[in-house]
Amino acid sequence: MSNVSVDTDWWRHAVIYQVYPRSFADANGDGMGDLPGIIDRLPYLAALGVDALWLNPFYASPQHDAGYDVADYRRADERFGETADAERLIATAHDLGMRVIFDIVPNHTSSEHPWFVEALRTPPGSGIWSRYHCVRGRGPTGEEPPNDWLSVFGGLAWTQIPDPSTGEPSGWWYLHLFDSAQPDLNWNDPEVRDEHERVLRHWFDRGVDGFRIDVAHGLVKTEGYPDSGEHPDMYGLENEVLVLPQWDQPGVHDIYRAWRRVADSYDPPRVFCGEVVVATPESHSMYLRPDELHTAFNFHYLRSRWEAAHLREVIDHSLETAAQVGAPCTWVLSNHDIRRHATRLAPEAGDVVDANRGLARARAASLIMLALPGSAYLYQGEELGLPEVTDIPDDKREDPTFHRTNGEVVGRDGCRVPIPWRTTGASFGFSDTGASWLPQPEYFGELSVEAQAGSAGSTLEMYREALRLRHQLSLGEGTLSWLDSPEDTLAFTINNVTVVAAMGEQPLAWPAAELLLASSPDVVVVDGQITLPPDTAAWLRL
Ligand code: NOJ
């Protein structure tokens, strides 16, 4: 029986927990997480207090990019279980009062998708190839790639297509903005559009509440494939985003208008969250116009530095630009593509990362985020304060970035290490057999769910209390007002709560009020004054 709320605007203020299926829980003992493992742990997520889950792709895939290379959008990969498990997962989550969002990957298929397999059998340039970007190369025999575009994962964004009858280079190339095993789809082809709408309906009919859209800003490429010029970083969630001919083209908005019509034809309407990586909050909000996507990850916030004035500016700018199109803001600090925020926010001196201050800042940052109006995304393990794992041996690394750059860019495996559930045992309860597709460090046991559950002051208990209070006080639905506060600190009110944060080297003294929650046990109320040490945040009752 579904116990989800009847609120059709739930996405405007929900807390959505990102489950990375490979690394959450392994029920069949092969060392890779799976859908039955997730189903077993759904009560943990319900008790944590999240409103919804987003699952990264679990579809049939050769796993050249951890499942973002989809060979069949309607079927679960057998590594992750049966297709019926996906439906069971939706029903069980609904029973527990949580909604479920899947991931759709429309920018590219796997090179093992039947469309690409079929294309490779036919002469390049022929009709079948119109589903992909198949372009004649430069030079007399097409021996040079069509332009200078680079793959986000390193190397060229083009691979030469072999002539199907001779196996020799044909002078035609296909585009892959990511790995060569992820050919980009050509969204000018109506069949590509129709098929994706069918896929949306397929899962909507099976009860899924919405989709996170992979590379949502990339589907339409500039006509004529002009050179993009030299640039150091193609995507870089952590860095400045560049305006390039392969991203954020105006034609992409029509696609989402059509998708919105599909989502709105359901009762209750289904929702979208775009992975929209664009240069400015203004261009970001274009995706959030009332007839397009409901929400999109706010990477401007994710990229913000641990600096009070800067953070305030980013929050204001995000709220203003989203409000202009009537959309809520979506806040996020970590995901499966970037260094975990407990490490990213840590002060560094040379090669030394101050992990304790990193964790202190991460906890404070999470308390700030969970009080902001709008919806918030949590990435599995952040509620345990997991840091980035930096010492994975090279031969265990799976991220194509590591391999395509010959190890120059270490890649994203460090934030994808399987979750520790128990204090002891091989793989810390991730898998009954003890296998784990990426090795976990020894210290993961102390950070496990078992070690933290019920332990006052643990990161897990802080998140649980934050989510409980956020619900009780409807913080996600409030309006933020800034309060004057000293340099390097932040203070704002939302509903009946004041949020204060000390982000510099000095403590913050604030008139005492009822302390609802603090990111550190060192926040103290003495003699009519509350004192926050550096790198802490607190929620006070007004
Ligand atoms: C963004 C996804 O989050 C990332 O994991 C993936 O590698 C790329 N898109 C390509 O699909």
**Residue 153 alpha carbon, nearest atom of ligand 1:** 7
Give the number of C-alpha atoms closer than 13 A to the C-alpha of residue 28, restricted to the C-beta side. 14
Interval 370-413: pLDDT, tens: 999 999 999 999 999 999 999 999 999 999 999 999 999 999 99
Residue in the block written with tokens 């034609």: 251
- What is the average per-residue pLDDT within 7-16? 97
pLDDT of amino acid 233: 59
Residue 229 has pLDDT above 90, yes or no: no
Test site for ligand 1: of 214, 235, 398, 403, most ligand atoms within 8 A of the Cβ: 214
Test site for ligand 1: of 337, 379, 403, 409, most ligand atoms within 8 A of the Cβ: 337
- Closest residue (by CA) to atom 3 of ligand 1? 337
pLDDT of amino acid 425: 96
- What is the average per-residue pLDDT within 332-355? 96
Give the containing element (helix H, strand E) for 253. Answer: helix 252-264
Interval 432-466: pLDDT, tens: 999 999 999 999 999 999 999 999 999 999 999 99
Rounded CA separation 249/212 (Å): 19
pLDDT of amino acid 234: 61
Least confident of 142-151, 163-172, 230-239, 291-300: 230-239
Query: From the CA of 18, how far away is ligand 1's center (Å)?
Result: 14
pLDDT of amino acid 222: 96
Query: From the CA of 178, how far away is ligand 1's center (Å)?
Result: 8
**Residue 337 alpha carbon, nearest atom of ligand 1:** 5
518 DSSP 8-state letter = E
Among 317, 330, 308, 303, residue whose Cα is nearest residue 532: 308
Q: For residue 241, name the pLDDT band (cuts at 50, 70, 90).
A: confident
pLDDT of amino acid 508: 98
pLDDT of amino acid 238: 67
The answer to whether the beta carbons of residues 423 and 451 sit under 8 Å apart is yes
Structure tokens at 242: 């560049």
- What is the SS3 assignment for 345? coil
Residue 6 has pLDDT above 70, yes or no: yes
Interval 481-529: pLDDT, tens: 999 999 999 999 999 999 999 999 999 999 999 999 999 999 999 888 9
Report the share of the chain in percent with pLDDT over 70: 99
Distance linking the first and last C-alpha atoms of the chain: 39
Residues contacting ligand 1 via CB (< 6 Å): 65, 68, 105, 178, 214-215, 275, 336-337
Show the CA angle centred on residue 401, arms to residues 403 and 175, nearest 5°: 100
Query: From the CA of 406, how far away is ligand 1's center (Å)?
Result: 19
Q: How many CB atoms lie within 10 A of CB 313?
A: 12
Query: From the CA of 214, how far away is ligand 1's center (Å)?
Result: 6
Rounded CA separation 509/496 (Å): 20
Rounded CA separation 299/432 (Å): 36
- What is the average per-residue pLDDT within 164-170? 96
Least confident of 121-135, 192-206, 236-250: 236-250
Test site for ligand 1: of 61, 68, 297, 332, most ligand atoms within 8 A of the Cβ: 68
Q: How far, in whole angstroms, is CA 270 from its chain's centroid? A: 19
- Closest residue (by CA) to atom 11 of ligand 1? 68
At a CB cut-off of 8 Å and minimum separation 6, what does 385 contact? 342, 359, 362, 363, 447, 459
- How many H helices and E strands in the chain? 14, 23
pLDDT of amino acid 163: 97
Residue in the block written with tokens 């979506």: 330
The percent of the chain in helix, strand and coil, each rounded to the nearest 5, is 30, 20, 50
pTM score over 0.85: yes
Residue 230 has pLDDT above 80, yes or no: no
pLDDT of amino acid 235: 66
- What is the average per-residue pLDDT within 163-175? 97
- What is the average per-residue pLDDT within 258-277? 98
Interval 195-207: pLDDT, tens: 999 999 999 999 9
Structure tokens at 289: 């116009």
Q: For residue 476, name the pLDDT band (cuts at 50, 70, 90).
A: very high
Instruction: Kindly list the distances between the CA atom of residue 97 and the CA atoms of 7, 21, 52, 262, 539, in Å, as whole numbers in the listed order.
Output: 12, 20, 8, 24, 26
Rounded CA separation 517/540 (Å): 7
Mark out the alpha helices in 63-105 (DSSP H runs).
83-95
Structure tokens at 375: 């919806």
Rounded CA separation 523/363 (Å): 13
pLDDT of amino acid 236: 61
Interval 278-310: pLDDT, tens: 988 899 999 999 999 999 999 999 999 999 999
**Residue 68 alpha carbon, nearest atom of ligand 1:** 11
Residue 146 has pLDDT above 80, yes or no: yes
The overall average pLDDT reported for the chain is 96
The answer to whether the beta carbons of residues 55 and 104 sit under 8 Å apart is no
pLDDT of amino acid 463: 99
